[in-house]
A = this chain, B = another copy of it.
Amino acid sequence: MGKYKKDVRQSKLLETVSKNPFLTDEKLAQQFDVSIQTIRLDRLELNIPELRERIKTVAQEEKEKVRSLSLQEVTGEIVELEMNVRAVSRFSVEESHTFLKYNIARGQYLFAQANSLCVAVIDYPVVLTKSAAIDFIKQVKVNDIVFSNATVQSIDNHVAKIEVISKVEDDTVLKGKFEMYFKNEDEDNDKNSD
């Protein structure tokens, strides 16, 4: 294969690196059949950081994701998030979430969605549920998509009060008030559960 011209090579380089950030300059040089120096000049011009920096960035992103992913497992997917202010999540009800005979979702799943949304919206390393008051207003059925809306009402020293409203289309299915206790990792204290 013939060598590319500079501009083509650079745009391909950008693509390659973003697809696979784990390639050294040496590998890239082989791949594009140019010298290492050329790759380095290209990176310089394109502001592509070196291998180690690229990996580090990926690792840090991955770390963040692990936190939010572990929340998502149970609770649906967070679609909007304004830290310490509000958040929205989406939960699609499947058969496994329902009473088999009636296809009505078990309340604990709706609770779980609301509860973990409250954990997510509070931007502290440790967030535990202190209390919850929930009204289940309307049945939720299989295949319904539940949007849960959390709004932080107040947030002080160590406790946030959050209001959650979950809807299926325009119908409110759940209303809840949560008190969440939060702290930094290092602080020592004893309370609560989630």
Q: List A residues at the B interface (Cβ < 8 Å).
A: 21-22, 52, 55-56, 58-63, 65-75, 96-97, 99-102, 104-112, 115-116, 119, 125-126, 128-140, 173-174, 185, 190-194
Nearest-Cβ distance from residue A6 to partner chain B, whole angstroms: 24
Chain B residues positioned under 8 Å from A193 (CB to CB): 104-107, 110, 136-140, 173-174
Contact at B108–A190, with CB atoms within 8 Å? Answer: no
Contact at B133–A131, with CB atoms within 8 Å? Answer: yes
Q: How far is the CA of A75 from the CA of B100 in the complex (A)?
A: 16
Given contacts A99-B126, A106-B116, 4 further A-B contacts (CB under 8 A): A70-B100, A107-B192, A138-B192, A173-B193
Contact at A71–B133, with CB atoms within 8 Å? Answer: no
Contact at A128–B134, with CB atoms within 8 Å? Answer: no
Which one of B21, B63, B97, B129 lies within 8 Å of A69 (CB-CB)?
A: B63
Contact status of A96 and B70, CB under 8 A, knowing A134-B133, A193-B110: yes
Nearest-Cβ distance from residue A39 to partner chain B, whole angstroms: 20
Q: For residue A125, which residue of chain B has the nearest CB? A: B101
Q: How far is the CA of A106 from the CA of B134 in the complex (A)?
A: 17
Nearest 6 pairs between A and B by C-beta? A107-B194, A107-B129, A108-B112, A59-B59, A58-B59, A136-B193
